[in-house]
Structure 1
Amino acid sequence: MMNQIITTLIQRAQHTPDDTALSGSRHGLQQQTRLSYSQLLVRVQQAAELLQAWSVNCIALRADNSLDWVIVDLAAMYARIPIVPVPMFFSEAQVAHTLQQSGADLLVGEWLDSHGIADDRIEGFDVWRLPSGLPQWLPDSSKITFTSGSTGQPKGVCLGQKQLIEVSCALAAAIQADVRCETHLIMLPLSTLLENITGVYVPILLGANSVVLSGSQVGLSGSSQFDARQFAAALEQYQPNSLVLTPALLMALIQVATLQPALTRSLTFVAVGGARVSPPLLQQAQACGIPAYEGYGLSECGSVVSVNTPSHSKPGTSGRVLSHVAVRIADDGEVLVRGNLALGYIGEPFGHAWLATGDLGSLDQDGFLTINGRKKNQIITAFGRNVSPEWIESEAQAMPALMGMIVVGEGQYGLTAVLDGDISDTIIGSVTRLNQHLPDYARITRVVTAPGLKHRAGLFTSNGRPVRQRLEQWLHQLDEQEPGIVSTAVIYPGSRNLSKFT
Structure 2
Amino acid sequence: MKLNFPAGARLTDLVSGQSLDQTAIAAAVLEWQQLLQDLSARRLVLWADTSLDWVLLDIACLHSQQLFVPMPLFASQGQLAHVLASVGPEFLFSDRELPTEATRQLGLTLRGRCRSFYLYQTSTELQQKALPVPAGTQKITFTSGSTGQPKGVCLSVQTQLNTAQSLVERIAPRLQNVTRPRHLCLLPLSLLLENIAGVYAPLLAGGEVLLMPDAGRGFAGSSLANPQQLLGLISQTQPHSLILVPELLQLLVQAALKGWPVPASLQFIAVGGAKVAVDTLRQAAALKLPVFQGYGLSECGSVVALCSVDAAHASDEALQSAGKPLAHLEVRIEQGEIQVKTPFLGYMGQSEAQADAWVATGDLGQWSADGDLQILGRRNNLLISSFGRNISPEWVESELTKTGLIQQAVLCGDAKPYCVALLYATPTVSDQQLADYLDWLNQQLPDYARVARFHRLNSPLSQAEGTLTTNGRPRRASIVQIYQQQIASLYPAN
Shorter-chain TM-score: what band? 0.7 to 0.9
On the 8 A contact 1:203/1:209 being kept in 2, the answer is yes
Correspondence list, 1:132-143, <5 A = 132-133=127-128, 136-143=132-139
CA shift digits 1:433-453 (9 cap, x unpaired): xxxxxxxxxxxxxxxxx9999
Specify which of 18, 23, 29 is matched with residue 38 of structure 1. 23
CA shift digits 1:54-107 (9 cap, x unpaired): 111011000011111111111111222010001111111110100111121111
CA shift digits 1:205-255 (9 cap, x unpaired): 111110010011111111123311101110121001100000000011112
Q: What is the aligned partner in structure 1 of residue 89 from structure 2?
A: 104
Specify which of 345, 348, 370 is matched with residue 346 of structure 1. 348
Shift of 1:457: 3.7
Matched, 1:374 2:366: no
- Amino acid in the other structure paired with 2:333: I
Number of matched residues? 415
Shift of 1:462: 2.9
On the 8 A contact 1:20/1:34 being kept in 2, the answer is no
CA shift digits 1:323-357 (9 cap, x unpaired): 111111112x1111114x21100112435621110
Q: What is the aligned partner in structure 1 of residue 114 from structure 2?
A: 122
Give the Cα–Cα distance (whole angstroms) in 1 for the partners of residues 90 and 411 of structure 2.
47
Q: What is the aligned partner in structure 2 of residue 438 from structure 1?
A: none
Specify which of 361, 364, 370 is matched with residue 360 of structure 1. 364
Q: What is the aligned partner in structure 1 of residue 473 from structure 2?
A: none
Q: Which runs of 4+ in 1 moved over 4 A?
A: 415-421, 450-456, 458-461, 474-481, 490-493
On the 8 A contact 1:337/1:357 being kept in 2, the answer is yes
Q: What is the aligned partner in structure 2 of residue 323 from structure 1?
A: 327
Shift of 1:455: 6.5
Query: Counterpart of 1:201 in 2: which secondary structure?
Result: helix
Shift of 1:259: 3.2
Q: TM-score, normalised by structure 1?
A: 0.73
Specify which of 460, 464, 487 is matched with residue 448 of structure 2. 464
Shift of 1:256: 2.5
CA shift digits 1:121-176 (9 cap, x unpaired): 33311112223535633221111000133321011111010111111111111111
Q: What is the aligned partner in structure 1 of residue 152 from structure 2?
A: 156
Shift of 1:117: 6.1
- Amino acid in the other structure paired with 1:345: Y
Query: Counterpart of 1:371 in 2: which secondary structure?
Result: strand
1:175/1:94 CA distance change after superposition, 3 Å: same
On the 8 A contact 2:171/2:308 being kept in 1, the answer is yes
Over the matched positions of the two proteins, sequence identity in percent amounts to 34
Shift of 1:492: 9.9
Matched, 1:290 2:300: no
CA shift digits 1:369-407 (9 cap, x unpaired): 1112110129xxxxxxxxxx87xx98xx9xxxxxx9x9x
Between 1:153-162 and 1:310-319, the stretch displaced more is 310-319
On the 8 A contact 2:365/2:374 being kept in 1, the answer is yes
1:362/1:48 CA distance change after superposition, 3 Å: same
Give the Cα–Cα distance (whole angstroms) in 1 for the partners of residues 46 and 270 of structure 2.
26
Give the Cα–Cα distance (whole angstroms) in 1 for the partners of residues 341 and 348 of structure 2.
20
- Amino acid in the other structure paired with 1:354: W
Shift of 1:465: 5.6
1:477/1:420 CA distance change after superposition, 3 Å: farther
On the 8 A contact 2:341/2:356 being kept in 1, the answer is no
Shift of 1:48: 0.7
1:343/1:491 CA distance change after superposition, 3 Å: closer
Give the Cα–Cα distance (whole angstroms) in 1 for the partners of residues 227 and 83 of structure 2.
32
Q: What is the aligned partner in structure 2 of residue 232 from structure 1?
A: 231
Q: Structure 1 stretches of 5 or more lacking a match?
A: 379-388, 398-403, 407-414, 424-449, 482-489
On the 8 A contact 1:242/1:267 being kept in 2, the answer is yes
Give the Cα–Cα distance (whole angstroms) in 2 for the partners of residues 500 and 375 of structure 1.
27
Q: Structure 2 stretches of 5 or more lacking a match?
A: 394-409, 421-433, 462-478
Give the Cα–Cα distance (whole angstroms) in 1 for the partners of residues 181 and 489 of structure 2.
52
Q: What is the aligned partner in structure 1 of residue 165 from structure 2?
A: 169
Give the Cα–Cα distance (whole angstroms) in 1 for the partners of residues 231 and 25 of structure 2.
28
Greater length-normalized contact order (CA 8 Å, ≥ 6 residues apart): 2
Two-structure CA RMSD over aligned residues (Å): 3.9
1:174/1:32 CA distance change after superposition, 3 Å: same
Specify which of 65, 69, 78 is matched with residue 50 of structure 2. 65
Correspondence list, 1:240-259, <5 A = 240-259=239-258
